[in-house]
Amino acid sequence: MISFSIKSVLIIFFAFLLTNCATNSNDLTRNYSAEQLYLEARKFLDKRLFQQAIDAYSKLESRYPYGLYTQHAKLEKAYALWKYNNNLIEAISSIDRFIAEFPNHKLTDYALYLKGRIYFRDNLGIAGLFGSEDLSDRDDSTMKESFNIFRELIEKYPDSIYSNDARKRMIYTYQKLAKKEFEIAEYYYSIGSYIASANRLKYILEHYPKYNDQITVLRLLKETYNKLELNDLAKNIDEIIDSNL
């Protein structure tokens, strides 16, 4: 019984070795240098063959964990992960590892920009900002994360080539976050939860002072105060509205 078990283990072991050797012999990149692996991965990436690019970048990281090509590979792999099946978690993890390992790298501004783009959940490019897609339908937690990352990028790297695009996305996200808050306030008002509506409206005025529809916010707040019979507060809002018209 014991000898049979040992024999079985040996058979499985040698079968594994044979399979592994066969796999390696079929790997045309097995003798590639770091540069060759990087160029192979980049070729796939440029052709938008994201799965093949991910596999090639993974080989590069595994075989050559240090070096310039591997540093670039981490970010390019993150981009490929994002584009391939929208793999956000792995893409962001790859970026975070890059920033942790190379905080002063010349591509750190791009790393932040890419991370912001991933949280922004935009696969349309900057033109998507002004198209038909409504970002207010998105998860506001990812929108806020995107906003904060873009702000970090602009503060740390104001002269970065990515700062202008990041700034546009921040402005757009800011307006959409405020709009979402207003829609919640409208909902509370519609169901008669006037205190909740008033609190949400005051939150908008305090945290989104540059929201481009402040007058509408003030008007709804006035109506909310009227419903609550807070006539003095409603009158004060009226005066604010008049002074802004």
Tokens 């240098």 sit at which residue?
Answer: 33
- CATH code for the domain defined by 34-99: 1.25.40
Q: How far apart are CA 127 and CA 143, in angstroms?
A: 17
pLDDT at 76 (0 to 100): 95
Q: How far apart are CA 137 and CA 122, in angstroms?
A: 13
Under a CB-based contact definition with an 8 Å cutoff, are residues 84 and 50 in contact?
yes
Whether pLDDT at 180 is above 90: yes
Q: How far apart are CA 27 and CA 162, in angstroms?
A: 38
* Longest Cα separation, the chain: 95
**Main-chain phi, psi angles of 114, to 5 degrees:** -65, -40
Q: How far apart are CA 118 and CA 137, in angstroms?
A: 16
Read off the pTM.
0.76
Q: How confident is the model at residue 217 (pLDDT cuts 50, 70, 90)?
A: very high
- 34-54 tens-digit pLDDT: 999 999 999 999 999 999 999
Tell me the domain boundaries of the chain.
Answer: 34-99
Under a CB-based contact definition with an 8 Å cutoff, are residues 131 and 158 in contact?
no
- 90-146 tens-digit pLDDT: 999 999 999 999 999 999 999 999 999 999 875 444 444 434 444 445 567 889 999
